[in-house]
Amino acid sequence: MTRRNELTIAEAARALRAREFTVRELWDACAAAASARNPELNAFLEIFDADDAAIAAAQKRIDTDGSAAPPLCGIPLAMKDNILIEGKIASAGSRMLENYRATYDATVVKKLKEACALFLGRTNMDEFAMGSSTEHSAYGPTKNPHDTRRVPGGSSGGSAAAVAAHLAIAALGSDTGGSIRQPAAHTGLVGLKPTYGAVSRSGLIAMGSSLDQIGPLAKTVEDARLLYEAIVGRDPLDATTIPAGLYPSRGIPEKFRIGVPRHLLEKGVDADVRAAFDATLERLKDAGHALIDIELPMSAYALAAYYVLMPAEVSTNLARLDGIRYGRAARGETLLDDYLLSRTGGFGKETLRRILLGTFVLSSGYIDAYYYKADAARRVLRREYEKAFEKADIIAFPTTPSPAFALGEKSDPLSMYLEDIFTATANLTGMPALSVPMGFVERAGKQLPVGMHLTAPNQAEDALFVLGAAVEKARGA
């Protein structure tokens, strides 16, 4: 029998309604697994005490409403440490905010509370979501449950490890350049970056405001959909949230036209990752879907544009952390000393690097060469994708060129940045994208999961869930 903490959202929701176990028993199973394995994995920065009132309320709702209760009712979830839960620490993996207690609920948290979901704890992450390995956390790296000598990816690495190791049923992460999809690929999970504006960013500690989205990390495509449906929607507290139907609906095709930009995969992708990708495509073709070649020439410049725009937004957003109103507050002789001491002591190296880089690309004399050029490239990239979607329903490529790398392997910043090479495009275009497991490759005697990356037109998450389920089926999951 599958242990309770190993269930999916859909399975646990059914079992709770069938009275096979109680909400308390499900919580205890996850909490016990989390306490037992966290010292090894460092997935959670904090495991919360059981909230007796919330557990009782969830049980009561299931008892009263049965199948009408929300699917997430009574489900223990892990939350990335940059999503505010009122009264809890939200440190964003940084010393800067180690003492900061959220003064309000993020909109996604409010929605999850209304659905009677439970919060198991806050998960480790690269500081301020900057990184692709969770090694940039001020609280030590998270380990990959598939091989603890390797990273789980990042920046939502703690959320990914927690779900992959069955410490939580599912989790929320945030994705600015691949921070949900890359860790999902590295830990064998499904990860979704919704359409920009689909999910409210109110209560998400900002990194790159034109790129950030909150999204699910889950064991199945169905679970990712259930979580997404619980958090999606327009929010008066986030003016960039979009109403349903802002973009024209395209419907869900019976058989998908899957666009593959083969020109991007010719070099740089590991041979066995490429083989797993091609084999999955073949199985989709056998299931009746069509494969078509597409060209996305601006993609070659996407990561360069991303590493101009993102640091620009980072340096702007992180300017608010000045040691005056909340968070780390070091004190010196003058007010300027207060700023310098608080910020220098609070930020880690990678954060400092990106703040400086952003300051540089926005400075007079360089803003034309870097920032405006990158912004123009972003618009051209978006148009290329729109054009590609005239003949394709979904665009597919591997989520990452390689499986999870070893802890400490990528010590120079640029090699770490290249981890986002495939995923950053969806943040630049704003389009929704899903990573779905597509098999395993072997490294040093361990089987490591790899993911297939699907991009859809704006607000076409439904199409991602349908084709994502087809990828699961093709894999034999």
Partner 1 sequence: MATAEEVKKLATLARVSLPEEELAKFASEFDAILAYVGQLETLDIKQGSAQEKPPLRNVMRADGTPHEGGAYTEKLAAQFPAREGTALSVKQVIRHD
Give least dist CB 84 to partner 1, A.
12
Give least dist CB 86 to partner 1, A.
8
- Marked catalytic residue, from 94, 137, 155, 200: 155
Rounded to whole angstroms, the Cα distance separating 28 from 348 reads 35
Rounded to whole angstroms, the Cα distance separating 38 from 349 reads 26
> Taking phi first (over 0 means left), then psi (-120 to 50 degrees means alpha), and beta for anything else, what does residue 50 get?
beta
* Contact (Cβ atoms closer than 8 angstroms) between residue 181 and residue 187: no
Kindly write out the interface string for residues 155-194 of this chain, putting x where it contacts partner 1 by CB under 8 A and - elsewhere. Answer: ----------------------------------------
Give least dist CB 202 to partner 1, A.
13
Contacting partner 1 within 66-125 (CB under 8 A): 100-101, 103-104
Beta bridge partners of 199: 232
**3-state class of 193 per DSSP?**
strand
Q: Which of 93, 197, 432, 439 is in the footprint of partner 1 by CB under 8 A?
A: 197
With contacts defined by CB under 8 A, name the span among 47-55, 185-193, 270-278, 374-382 that binds partner 1.
374-382
DSSP code string of 383-407: HHHHHHHHH-SEEEEESSSSSPPBT
With contacts defined by CB under 8 A, name the span among 75-83, 221-229, 233-241, 268-276 that binds partner 1.
233-241
* Contact (Cβ atoms closer than 8 angstroms) between residue 118 and residue 26: no
| CA distance readout (Å), 330 to 3, 333, 345, 353 | 47, 11, 8, 21
Q: Is 14 in the site for partner 1 (CB under 8 A)?
A: no
Q: What phi and psi values does residue 53 have, to the nearest 5 degrees?
A: -65, -40
With contacts defined by CB under 8 A, name the span among 63-71, 167-175, 214-222, 354-362 that binds partner 1.
354-362
Q: Is 356 in the site for partner 1 (CB under 8 A)?
A: yes
Give least dist CB 15 to partner 1, A.
38
The count of chain residues that interact with partner 1, using the rule CB under 8 A, is 58
Q: Is 413 in the site for partner 1 (CB under 8 A)?
A: yes
Q: Is 240 in the site for partner 1 (CB under 8 A)?
A: yes
Q: Is 352 in the site for partner 1 (CB under 8 A)?
A: yes
Q: Is 206 in the site for partner 1 (CB under 8 A)?
A: no
Is 411 considered catalytic here?
A: no
Q: Is 383 in the site for partner 1 (CB under 8 A)?
A: yes
**3-state class of 436 per DSSP?**
strand
Q: Is 414 in the site for partner 1 (CB under 8 A)?
A: yes
Rounded to whole angstroms, the Cα distance separating 247 from 264 reads 28
Kindly write out the interface string for residues 242-261 of this chain, putting x where it contacts partner 1 by CB under 8 A and - elsewhere. Answer: x---xx--------------
| CA distance readout (Å), 248 to 76, 251, 390, 431, 460 | 35, 9, 13, 13, 9
Q: Which of 363, 387, 391, 477 is in the footprint of partner 1 by CB under 8 A?
A: 363
Give least dist CB 45 to partner 1, A.
19
With contacts defined by CB under 8 A, name the span among 132-140, 178-186, 214-222, 321-329 that binds partner 1.
321-329
- Marked catalytic residue, from 80, 111, 193, 219: 80
Length of the chain: 477
**3-state class of 58 per DSSP?**
helix
What are the structure tokens assigned to 173, written together? 């992460």
Rounded to whole angstroms, the Cα distance separating 217 from 220 reads 9
Which among 443, 442, 462, 440 is positioned nearest to 451, based on CA atoms? 440
With contacts defined by CB under 8 A, name the span among 224-232, 277-285, 396-404, 413-421 that binds partner 1.
413-421
Give least dist CB 396 to partner 1, A.
25
Q: Which of 275, 287, 292, 335 is in the footprint of partner 1 by CB under 8 A?
A: 335
Beta strand ranges found along 201-333 (DSSP E): 213-218, 257-260, 290-293
Is 80 considered catalytic here?
A: yes
- Marked catalytic residue, from 137, 156, 174, 179: 179
Contacting partner 1 within 17-76 (CB under 8 A): none
Rounded to whole angstroms, the Cα distance separating 141 from 40 reads 11
Q: Which of 67, 245, 334, 390 is in the footprint of partner 1 by CB under 8 A?
A: 334
Is 193 considered catalytic here?
A: no
| CA distance readout (Å), 297 to 57, 105, 341, 373 | 53, 42, 45, 16
How many other C-beta atoms lie within 10 A of the C-beta of residue 427?
A: 28
Give least dist CB 242 to partner 1, A.
6
What are the structure tokens assigned to 417, written together? 């940045």
What are the structure tokens assigned to 184, written together? 């999902």
Q: Which of 344, 447, 473, 477 is in the footprint of partner 1 by CB under 8 A?
A: 344
With contacts defined by CB under 8 A, name the span among 25-33, 54-62, 325-333, 432-440 that binds partner 1.
325-333
307 burial level (CB within 10 Å; 0-12, 13-18, 19+): buried
* Contact (Cβ atoms closer than 8 angstroms) between residue 151 and residue 141: yes
| Interaction site with partner 1 (CB under 8 A) | 100-101, 103-104, 197, 236, 239-240, 242, 246-247, 301, 303-305, 307-308, 315, 319, 322-327, 329, 334-336, 338-340, 343-344, 347, 352-353, 355-357, 359-361, 363, 369-370, 373-374, 376-377, 379-380, 382-383, 412-414, 417
Catalytic positions, please? 80, 155, 179
